Structure 1
Amino acid sequence: MSFSLTTLLGLILLLALIFFKIKSKAPRKNPKMYHGDGRRKTFRDFEHERHQGSNLHEFGRPYELGGFGVTQAPTRNETFFKPDPKFNDERIVNDPRGIFGEAAMAALVARVCDTDKRKYVLLRNLYVPARTGYTEVDALLLHQSGIYVLESKNLSGEISGDFESERWNQHLNANTEHTFYNPVRQNIGHILSLQRFLKIRREQAHFISIIVFSDRCTLRKVPKNNEFWSIVHCSELQEALLKRITNRKTIYTQQHIENLYYKLQECTNVSEEIKAKHREYANKRGDLPPRS
């Protein structure tokens, strides 16, 4: 009997040793994202830390909290990423070289969200796993009214194309014309990849596609806006997005938005090799014509 008890105690000690050894090798949770007791932080926790003056960093990439949600930027120097009194519609229109581009688009989205006052997360430059490797989403708004997928086209000239066409036209002058991949289809591809990655069933999907063109171009013949997508100039984005959001009821809870946000973190922190492969694929497909 004593032999059996000794053996049992030895096994317990051995298992305990193995358990603590495995636990010590397990990747530690980012202390900026979790409480000391292991609980994951919420929007309210982040907002409290922001008011306390904390300089939060997430996975080595800085981000800041908007008034009612989270806005994440690749670098802290993107001053146009957040609602800012220095950023105004005149600076968007008077942007002949397209300096602001995606940052201007993101700033307008954040401005709308802070007006709406529901919870949101705004992410930029996500690399989402797709059947062909990865697909890049310029900006993604996780909002309690739905998931808004934004594609930025910083182009000049006259733009024309329809839903059925694989390629659209960019007409610069009598002697210069380019084509680029249909942005409506391109963003539908982004949405399908997001739907698969987030494991959202089709009947529960509340995605809205928004294609944002530079004010330097003229939209001649493009598909009309409907309940699934909008095609707008950058200066029209704020009004168009505000109208969509205010007319939609709350679909997602705060917890649901947070869960989607954490799931998408790996898409914002991919390797340079993945980014290079995606750029090579996009160039071969001709997603964009030469900028002019």
Structure 2
Amino acid sequence: MFKQFMKKVKNTIDSHKDYRNATGNSLLDVVTNKGLFGEYLSNFALNDVQGTSRTLYNIYIPKKNGKPTEIDLVFIHETGIYAIESKNYSAWIYGNGDHKNWTQVFPNRKKYSFYNPIKQNETHIRALQHVLPNISTEAYTNLVVFSERCELKEIHYTQQQTHVIKRPALRKLIEELTNKNPNMFTTAEVIKIYTDLKRFAVTDPAIIEQHKQDIAKYKK
């Protein structure tokens, strides 16, 4: 029992070291920022998934028009590429996969709309396809992960290879998908995809600022 506990502690420490090395975010950064904390919890859920895998965080992939789009998490596994869009929202969530906007409803009945995260992540996947032109479209899975603080009230979608879940269900879903899906990549191919995408994780402030301006223009 003690050995199992110590192994779990070690895995937790190693997982944070990997995350910190990849993102530069300290433990203090993580626990004081809701967005980073959600990202970190998603990273922890992916830790120790069986099979060869690599994970990238907050990468800025250029779309066909040259403008960057930010992807929260990309989990590259033997069974495919899993694009993860993390939404750290609370309250009740209503959404339809075909609609432009979804709705967040608070107990005081205040409502806020936000862009359909399925469509948002579809944009991310198209950007990945643009920079990885030799990879089949069947390799991609669209994962939208909401905070455990929300309640998914009415979520409807028909898109294939798409899942909308709450974060506590992420580990189980990933294990189900990686166990069910056939291997699409060799170990060498997983590493090559990771290497090809890793260059987009090293971004300068100008790219990040351009992305923020694009989002601000869209919201107006």
TM above 0.5, yes or no, is yes
Q: Does structure 2 conserve the Cα–Cα contact (< 8 Å) formed by 1:159 and 1:169?
A: yes
Amino acid at match of 1:105: S
Q: CA RMSD in A?
A: 2.7
Amino acid at match of 1:134: P
List per-residue Cα deviations over 1:111-165 (Å, max 9, x = no partner): 4x2xx1x111011000000135010000001100100000000001111110111
The partner residue of 1:125 within 58, 62, 84 is 58
Q: Within the alignment, does 1:248 sit opposite 2:185 as a pair?
A: no
User: How far apart, in 2, do the equivalents of 1:193 and 1:137 lie?
Assistant: 10
- Partner SS, residue 134 of structure 2: coil
1:20-35 equivalence runs, <5 A: none
User: How far apart, in 1, do the equivalents of 2:78 and 2:92 lie?
Assistant: 36
User: How far apart, in 2, do the equivalents of 1:235 and 1:175 lie?
Assistant: 26
User: How far apart, in 2, do the equivalents of 1:138 and 1:155 lie?
Assistant: 15
Distance 1:223 1:200, change over 3 A: farther
Distance 1:175 1:248, change over 3 A: closer
Aligned to 1:162: 96
User: How far apart, in 2, do the equivalents of 1:99 and 1:74 lie?
Assistant: 10
Distance 1:72 1:196, change over 3 A: farther
Distance 1:137 1:72, change over 3 A: farther
The partner residue of 1:236 within 160, 169, 188 is 169
Q: Once the 2 structures are TM-superposed, how far is the Cα of residue 71 of structure 1 from its aligned partner?
A: 9.2
Question: Could you list the runs of 5+ residues in structure 1 that have no partner in the other structure?
Answer: 1-62, 65-69, 82-90, 92-96, 287-292
User: How far apart, in 1, do the equivalents of 2:69 and 2:109 lie?
Assistant: 33
Distance 1:272 1:98, change over 3 A: closer
Q: Does structure 1 conserve the Cα–Cα contact (< 8 Å) formed by 2:83 and 2:141?
A: yes
Amino acid at match of 2:82: Y
Aligned to 1:73: 22
TM-score (norm 2): 0.82
Aligned residues: 201
Aligned to 1:284: 217
Aligned to 1:207: 140
Q: Within the alignment, does 1:223 sit opposite 2:156 as a pair?
A: yes
Among the aligned pairs, what percent are the same residue?
25
List per-residue Cα deviations over 1:157-177 (Å, max 9, x = no partner): 111110111010111134421
By relative contact order (CA 8 Å, sep 6+), the higher-ranking structure is 2
The partner residue of 1:135 within 69, 81, 89 is 69
Aligned to 1:172: 106
Q: Once the 2 structures are TM-superposed, how far is the Cα of residue 208 of structure 1 from its aligned partner?
A: 0.3
Q: Once the 2 structures are TM-superposed, how far is the Cα of residue 77 of structure 1 from its aligned partner?
A: 3.0
Q: Once the 2 structures are TM-superposed, how far is the Cα of residue 224 of structure 1 from its aligned partner?
A: 5.2
User: How far apart, in 2, do the equivalents of 1:198 and 1:98 lie?
Assistant: 27
